[in-house]
A and B are shown apart, each in its own frame.
Chain A
């Protein structure tokens, strides 16, 4: 609680106590008036002062002025008629309670969200001349300095590990609770928590440019990009108050005049009372506060899951997604080849792999790398000589005196060797030893562990179309698409073809309110990312280019997070819409009831304060969106 909030709370309590006490005192007339004026001024003096300032600065539709008029008017009426000042003071009291709660709730949400995002520590450890550790301001650490991160501490600045072995918890950044092992030479990013071992890290960035700081900046900035809902509220608020005030004036004047003309009792007092009730409901505070709060809370909740949404408008569009288009390599698949099957003719599987790996020893082709990865002990005692690469065919080498050829079917045909095809889809690497066919090895790009579940989850959420775009051959693409359960697949695409495919899909949308999301790994998908309604970049840990190009950034590379992102955005938007309907609905109802004489000032103040309080509480629900 701030100082101002404490003071206001004291004023509220004192006023309430006085009001209760005065209830038991039997007084009349001027004495009664004087006694009741005291709590009125205690609780209302700042509103009255602000009202006067508002008039001086020509801000006539200031809510302070309207509250002042409403309550002073009510006191005047009470003075003239009933002597019941309680209502007028209660209105002011409840108004202040409402304002207080708003201020408290907003402050608390800001703090809660800030705590949620407390991923950047405010100190770094450096060794000084004596070898002692001292804590310094992370802003002062230059690139290339060595900092020390003790177990249990958060990494303050991006860098490369110089010394030490440990495991890191990256949950705050990615939402993933699986720890990562690090050792010298590995890059680590700020915001992760060092779990087990002491680490000495050479920094590669400045504090302000490190991942954690950039993420925080991104989230803060995200609040500046207004969604359509927020813009609607701003426009609404601008016209709502003037309309209600003019309606109040009309209500105070027209009916009594009409009644007089019709020779009836004008009832000025009654209509004035109703008009004053209008003034109380004239503030759109509930809406204006709760909507930005909902989005802010939603953005914070999403980042907890490692989903960075770069603006409230993107959160909105994300919730309207009905079509998701995926890039294949690197997005739905791992992007690296691995050995999938080994089909030898006579040899043992391991022996075939062994020889093939030797032949590929000096190659850096992705296929060679996959073979070498599958056979880690390649550097053994075998004699590997005369390695020769034959362009467009493969590689030939002498292994322990045998001529071993590893390549595609064309190489086999050149050798006059009869090769066998394979039912597995993927790249087939044939092996011939001394002119005889010895079998083949199938190498392919494997889907990521959660890709299939991701597609299933999206379908369950009501995503109508899941589409995969790839530059790969049709055969491979179709197999992957079938395995993952995608609705459509387009293969053999050049980069510019991807853009036109997305345009075709966009043209096929059923309505303007549907959104098309494209998911890629960032850098080389930039044109498609910007063409789609929502561009989602994956595996962005540390990749500045991806963060720049996309609207939504997933910190790790699990496609399942896309479903989570859509779920978070939908809940957030649902809460926003609930608040809009609730706030406007109740206000209109009470306005109508007030005009017809069915609502007292008590009802009016509830419509104002109660609605605001409920809307704020509802908005804070956006923070608690679970997996």
Chain B
């Protein structure tokens, strides 16, 4: 399942870090961050609950970029 989320992040470098962090989260098959459009596309593994996974994605992203936001649910 694929979903696209609106995000808020200040610099392009940070966006790249968010992408790396998101890709490492359990349940995420592939993630890509579009800095210019402020969107994050996530392809989830089968059988996971997107919102649960996204909570972890947000937590991990906050570690690399404390000011970031991901808008889900």
- Bitwise interface map of B from 5 to 20 toward A, beta carbon under 8 Å scored 1, else 0: 0000011110010000
Say if the beta carbon of B34 comes within 8 Å of chain A. Answer: yes
Of the listed stretches A76-84, A289-297, A383-391, A422-430, chain B binds A289-297
A106 CA to B64 CA, complexed, in Å: 21
The complex places the Cα of A102 from the Cα of B37 at a distance, in Å, of 16
Residue contact A292 to B35, C-beta cutoff 8 Å? yes
The closest CB in chain A to the CB of B39 belongs to A220
**A-side contacts of B34, CB under 8 Å:** 220-221, 223-224
Give the residue of B13, B41, B63 whose beta carbon is less than 8 angstroms from that of A224: B41
Question: Do A288 and B36 contact each other (CB < 8 Å), given the known contacts A57-B63, A57-B64, A59-B64?
Answer: no
Q: CB within 8 Å of A: which of B20-73?
A: 32, 34-39, 41, 63-64, 66-67
Binary interface profile of A, 48-81, with partner B (CB < 8 Å = 1, else 0)?
A: 0010010001010001000000000000000000
Chain B residues, Cβ within 8 Å of A448: none
Chain B nearest Cβ from A420, distance in angstroms: 65
Give the distance in Å from the alpha carbon of A590 to the alpha carbon of B16 in the complex.
26
Is the CB–CB distance between A223 and B37 below 8 Å? yes
Q: Of the candidates A53, A106, A285, A295, which one forms a contact with B13 in the assembled complex, judged by CB atoms under 8 Å apart?
A: A285
Please name all residues of chain B whose beta carbon is closer than 8 Å to the beta carbon of A289 when the two chains form the complex. 11-12
Chain A residue nearest to B10 in the complex (CB): A103
Taking the closest CB of chain A, its distance from the CB of B45, in whole angstroms, is 20
Q: Once the chains bind, are A110 and B38 in contact (CB under 8 Å)?
A: yes
Name the CB-closest residue of A to B32.
Answer: A224
Chain B residues with CB under 8 Å of A296's CB are 36-37
Asked whether any CB of chain B lies closer than 8 Å to the CB of A284, the reply is yes
Q: Is the CB of B11 within 8 A of A102?
A: yes
Find chain A residues with CB under 8 A from B64 CB: 57, 59
CB of B27 to closest CB in A, whole Å: 20
Across the interface, do A53 and B66 meet the contact criterion of CB distance under 8 Å? yes
Within the complex, the shortest CB–CB distance from A290 to chain B, in Å, comes to 9
Interface residues of A in 188-235 (CB under 8 A from B): 220-221, 223-224, 234
The distance in angstroms between the C-alpha atoms of A200 and B38, with both chains bound, is: 36
Q: How far, in whole Å, are A332 and B37 apart by their CA atoms in the complex?
A: 36
Complex Cα spacing A288 to B17, Å: 12
By size class, the interface of chain B is 10 to 19
- Asked if A237 and B16 sit within 8 Å, CB to CB, the answer is yes
Choose among A63, A285, A288 the residue with the greatest number of B CB atoms under 10 Å from its CB.
Answer: A288
Question: Does A284 contact B13, Cβ atoms closer than 8 Å?
Answer: yes
**A288: B residues at CB distance < 8 A:** 11-13, 16
Determine if A285 and B11 form an interchain contact, defined as CB atoms under 8 angstroms apart. Answer: yes
Expressed in whole angstroms, the Cα–Cα distance for A568 and B64 within the complex equals 36
Q: Which of B37, B39, B41, B64 has the most CB of A within 10 A?
A: B37
Q: How far is the CA of A110 from the CA of B41 in the complex (A)?
A: 19
Q: Which residues of A contact B63 (CB under 8 A)?
A: 57, 59
A355, B12: Cα distance in complex, Å: 71
Check A220–B16 contact: CB distance below 8 A: no
**B58 shortest CB reach to chain A, Å:** 14
Q: How far is the CB of A610 from chain B (nearest CB, A)?
A: 17
Report Cα–Cα, A183/B64, bound state, in Å: 57
Of residues 240 through 288 on chain A, the ones whose CB sits less than 8 Å from some CB of chain B are 283-285, 288
Contacts of B16 in A (CB 8 A): 234, 237, 288
Inter-chain contact A50/B66, CB cutoff 8 Å? yes
> Closest Cβ of chain B: how far from A49's Cβ, in Å?
9
A293 and B36: CB pair below 8 A? yes
Q: How far is the CA of A234 from the CA of B13 in the complex (A)?
A: 8
Residues of B within 8 A of A57 (CB): 63-64
Q: Distance (Å) between the CB of B59 and the closest chain A CB?
A: 11
Q: Report Cα–Cα, A301/B36, bound state, in Å.
A: 15
Q: How far is B4's CA from A84's CA once the two chains are assembled, in angstroms?
A: 51
C-alpha gap A234/B67 in the complex (Å): 21
A220 touches B10 (CB 8 A): no
Q: Which residues from chain A contact B35 at a C-beta distance below 8 Å?
A: 223, 292
**CA–CA, A237 to B15, complex, Å?**
13
Nearest CB on B from A223, distance (A):
5
Chain A residues with Cβ under 8 A from B39's Cβ?
Answer: 220, 224
For B10, the chain A residues whose CB sits under 8 A away are 99, 103
Q: Which residues of A contact B67 (CB under 8 A)?
A: 50
CA distance A295 to B34 in the complex (A): 12
| Chain A contacts for B32, CB-based, 8 A | 224
Which residues from B are CB-within-8-Å of A221? 34
Give the Cβ gap from A294 to chain B, nearest Cβ, in Å: 10
Q: Of all chain B residues, which has the CB nearest A295?
A: B36
Residues on the A chain within 8 Å of B37, using CB: 110, 220, 223-224, 296
Q: 10 other contacts beyond A220-B34, A285-B11, A288-B11, with CB at 8 A cut-off?
A: A109-B36, A223-B37, A224-B37, A237-B16, A284-B13, A288-B13, A288-B16, A289-B12, A295-B36, A296-B36
Query: What are 18 of the A-B contact pairs (CB < 8 Å)?
Result: A57-B63, A63-B13, A109-B36, A220-B34, A220-B37, A220-B39, A223-B34, A223-B35, A223-B37, A224-B41, A234-B16, A237-B13, A285-B11, A285-B12, A288-B16, A292-B35, A295-B36, A296-B36
A residues neighboring B (CB under 8 Å): 50, 53, 57, 59, 63, 99, 102-103, 106, 109-110, 220-221, 223-224, 234, 237, 283-285, 288-289, 292-293, 295-296
Q: Which 3 A-B pairs have the closest CB atoms?
A: A296-B36, A288-B12, A220-B37
